[in-house]
Amino acid sequence: MISKKIFINFLVLFSAKIIESRNLRRTPNPYVPEITVSASNNAIHKEWILNPQGTTTKKYRLKSSFLRLRPIKQGFNETVFKQHYMPEESITCRTGNGIVEGSTLSKIANELIEEIKAGKKDFTSFKVLKDSGFNYKTLSGLIVLKYKNYPFVIKVSIEHPHTMIDPFSKSYEATGIFLMGGNLRHLSNFTRITNLEHIKQLLCYNPFYLYNVDFPRKWYWKPENGYNLEINWRCGNQKEKILLPSIYAVISDFIITEENQPTHELNRLSMKVATDVGFLIDPHAGNILIEKGSRKYVLLDTEDFRLMTGLDTPMNAKKYIGWYIELVTRAIKNCLFKDKQERMTQSMQI
């Protein structure tokens, strides 16, 4: 049976293809958003191209009516990135049993990046938890792994100029994010920590959440041998320039959970938290689990769901099925029932 997420993304993708096919028959519109992506270090960029001899382009372009400026401008914040960067000094493990140097976690993560660049799928110091959003042929996308010897998870996001402009090459999820919110998947990983801090502020006034709900610690990280993406946005007379890491990660605590999880109870709680924070999180199953030992409810995934999916107005749903229907309805409306002026205005909103 096809999952709800895949169904949504397939539905939106089908609708989007209809729109794109119309555009191909028309005179190019200067008010259709366009990004040009280049590398701050062409030598390092070339190392990641599987067939560098056949690649001479230094600037790559994506022109699409689905592009939006908001996720590009709000996704990466260099100040916040530095404030929440993985420390070099000792880090106490979440369970209190053990200490690891941040520099050690960083060193092992650098080795991981080199293994990914070499085209490996099995890694020396990591176990793959999720790689459905990663393209091993282009070495781009999002891959989630656990340190084998330490209780930490790393979510690595990799894009290059030649892959950043191809939002349809990773996964159904990445495709849906682009078509529904004009958001490039690489940008969403940045929001995990900023959105986490926002959620904490919204929930701390409720005694139940304050004493019963917890969150993993999270830090940003990027490799030593990396480079920046230079993104130049253009839509009509509006121009923007954004620099952000081509390769980066979010490292967080690995949560050891109780064996028997009350699925129905947790799904209801996930939906309750989502509505209470205005759908800043995705209320998907498994996003909240009960931690072994503390018995607390732990919220795992904290990407900014509103920014990911382009939710400009509040959702009215109170139950999961209602949320699902409303999300599908908004997706169809966004793809098929917006005129040029609405789409252009939406694309330039920050």
Q: What is the pLDDT of residues 114-153, one digit of tens each?
A: 999 999 999 999 999 999 999 999 999 999 999 999 999 9
Helix axes 320-336, 263-276, angle to 10 degrees: 50
Mean pLDDT, the chain, whole residue set: 85
At 247, the pLDDT band (50, 70, 90 cuts) reads very high
What's the average model confidence in pLDDT over 308-333?
78
CA distance 200 to 196: 6
| CA–CA gap between residue 214 and residue 256 (Å, rounded) | 13
Strand partners, 36: 61, 232
Q: Give me the pLDDT at residue 345, please.
A: 66
Pairing of strands 134-135, 140-147: antiparallel
**What's the pTM value of the predicted model, to 2 decimals?**
0.88
Backbone phi, psi, residue 160, to 5°: -130, 165
Instruction: Name 244's bridge partners.
Output: 229
96 class by beta-carbon count within 10 Å (0-12 exposed, 13-18 middle, 19+ buried): exposed
Element (H, E) at 142: strand 140-147
pLDDT at 16 over 60: no
More confidently predicted of 159 and 50: 159
Q: From CA 23, how far away is CA 28, in angstroms rounded?
A: 8
Would you report the helix, strand and coil content of the chain in percent, each value rounded to 5?
40, 20, 40
Q: Residue 334: is its pLDDT beyond 80?
A: no
**Please, which pLDDT band fits residue 75 given cuts at 50, 70 and 90?**
confident
In angstroms, the CA 187 to CA 175 distance is: 13
Q: With a cut of 50, say whether residue 1 has pLDDT above it.
A: no
